[in-house]
Amino acid sequence: MGVRRLEKSARRMLDRLHDQVGAGLLAAAAIPGLGAVVDQHSAAVRDILTVGVESSAVVAGSVLLAGYAQGVLDHLRESGRPLRVPADATGWLGADWISVRLLAVCALARDLHPGRPVGSTGQLPTVA
């Protein structure tokens, strides 16, 4: 698969993920405690992808994020559990680890520029 096709496929996957859990970003913006939890998860994902993935400096961030999210979703499916997406902002306060982790992926993907690699120069967006 060509690089551009791979990036387009990754972006489609991230768009589908955002359709599923992205509403939680509004809740995180409105609820400081939830925002802090999402920031912590975002930092962990960013560290995993920049330090824990060999050759991550030459792979588009969208591809890395989509691969990570797909791995989380595969683990969920293999364990026989459904993705539990909270229905409202209050529900996000009690969201499980997987839902918040996937929301963190959405937060990182939202600010990622197409085609940009992830490397030691901080190519994935930082969390504030």
Question: Residue 35: enclosing H or E segment and its boundaries?
Answer: helix 32-51
Rounded CA-CA distance 84/104 in Å is 15
pLDDT in tens, the chain (128 residues): 577 888 899 999 999 999 999 999 999 999 999 999 999 999 999 988 888 776 767 678 888 999 999 999 999 999 999 999 999 999 999 999 999 999 999 999 988 765 554 433 344 555 44
Q: State both tokens at 37.
A: 């939890």
Q: Which two tokens stand for residue 99?
A: 């839902």
Specify whether the CB–CB gap between 50 and 104 falls below 8 A.
Answer: no
* pTM (2 d.p.): 0.84
